[in-house]
Amino acid sequence: MAQVLALISRERKIPIRLLVHVSRCQADTARARQLAMYLAHVSKGISLTAIGAAFGRDRTTVSYACSLIEDLRDDARFDAELDRLEAQLMAGGENE
């Protein structure tokens, strides 16, 4: 999970403490959090329950975030960005 948080924090220029903060925060922070949840699940294979615990949220919230990000992949630019982020995570090593 730490690898995903570090990557999203760096790429989106949002401190990790805001990514895992219990409040909803601003829209860009919330979207970055959803992206981190998605990548943790899809790229790292971390369970929805474990991701929810790490972010202080319910697994259904994580499921919603994953569905939302998956729907956004219809946009070619967004999909290319996700492919790049997934490749960086896969190059970074084993599952956490």
Q: Which CATH architecture has domain 2-91?
A: Orthogonal Bundle (1.10)
- What are the sequence ranges of the domains in the chain? 2-91
Residue 42: the pLDDT is 93
Question: In the predicted model, is pLDDT for residue 25 greater than 80?
Answer: no
Residues 7, 90: contact at Cβ < 8 Å?
Answer: no
3 state DSSP class of 95: coil
pLDDT of residue 93: 54
Rounded mean pLDDT, 9-27 = 86
Helix H or strand E segment including 46: none
Which has the higher per-residue pLDDT, 69 or 96?
69
Mean pLDDT of 5-11: 93
Q: What percent of the chain has pLDDT over 90?
A: 69
Higher-pLDDT residue of 77 and 20 is 77
What's the number of CA atoms in the CB half-sphere (13 Å) around residue 82? 23
**How far is Cα 15 from Cα 30, in angstroms, rounded to an integer?**
12
Tokens 């569905």 sit on residue: 67
